[in-house]
Amino acid sequence: MKNPNEPLVFTEQGVVYLFSKYWEQIPRFTKIINRITCAHTHYPDFRFIGRDNNNWGLEFEYKLSGFSEHLSDRCFGKLKEEEIKKMLIVYWIEDSSTETIKKRLSKHKIRGEFICLKDEFNPILVKSDKSLLGFWSRNKHGSCQLNYKKNKKVLSKLVKDKQVNIMLPNRDIWRTIGWNETVSGKLSYDHWKKLFLLTVPNKKGFRKETIPKRLYLKPKGTDKIIGYFEIDFAFSSKHKSKKLEVWFRDNYYFSFKEIEGSICFIYKKFHNLSKRDGETIYSLLKIKGLFNNSTTSRIIPQNLMKKIGLYG
């Protein structure tokens, strides 16, 4: 039987592969294309005639910010030579403002359209003999999500067996944390939303008395908070055990050996924030110097918590 799942996307070539395979299933594209007229080895990657009879350019990027190198006079000259009046940018990670790019294009009388390809796929979990694996699927209804209540009961038994130390969150503490896919097994935060477990190296400054109730998340390269983990409790392992190794194998993207010594956060839910609220919260935190592009975690001052709470 053919595997319906697609591998994780790490490069522009991955974006090209998925788009080439599934473009006929993406309404936002099929509504505008008439026929492809040219494939380039230079900018733009493709040229096509739209249903509006205009010449369109199509450019692929892994990160949207990569399109900035095509906003030069030389690139605009190419578009003018080929009489391209509209550009479609297909990308995977939105780490730049679409509005800013639209404005830059419009100054040269080019209309910009965007498709974030990740929005067309569903993150899923697949069990293996070593750990969970992350994939993307076009099946929006085939999502696998781990059972929080069931696994919490299993953890309770491990507590009784004195295999883990439990740490309860302080309701008066909220913290920030950055997200870097490079150090997160190249998994997106979309996959973590399917779990109920997040591990953070102990060197990030977490102590028993500073376990937060909320952990606000900012992906590297973006200017917004995308949401927060509502922490139920945290734990650390006392020693190696077969039961603990099996539990991590069935419930996490990393083996117990890979995360040994980390703080393990069990969260009830990941709360998504709107783009506007996420940008507002980030600006409040940035003013106080509480965020950079690393994964360092900082405690949010109580005088800021009330303001942030108004937005999410």
- Taking only the tens place, the pLDDT of each residue in 246-267 is 888 888 888 888 888 888 999 8
What span, in angstroms and rounded, lies between the C-alpha atoms of 71 and 31?
26
For domain 5-120, which CATH number applies: 3.40.1350, 1.10.150, 1.10.3470, 3.40.50?
3.40.1350
pLDDT at position 155, please? 80
pLDDT at position 292, please? 54
Indicate the DSSP class of residue 115: E
User: Is the pTM for the entire model greater than 0.85?
Assistant: no
Indicate the DSSP class of residue 44: S
Q: Which residue has the tokens 């393990």?
A: 264
Contact 85, 55 (CB under 8 A): yes
Sort strands 86-91 and 111-116 into parallel, antiparallel or unpaired: parallel
pLDDT at position 12, please? 92
pLDDT < 70 positions in the chain: 1-4, 140-145, 182-183, 185-186, 203-205, 290-296
The domain locations on the chain are 5-120, 144-309
Contact 220, 158 (CB under 8 A): no
What span, in angstroms and rounded, lies between the C-alpha atoms of 264 and 259?
9
- Chain centroid to CA 275: how far? 14
Contact 167, 228 (CB under 8 A): no
Query: If one looks up domain 144-309 in CATH, what number appears?
Result: 3.10.590
Q: How far is CA 20 from CA 24, 48, 57, 120, 255, in A?
A: 9, 14, 15, 13, 34
Contact 66, 95 (CB under 8 A): no
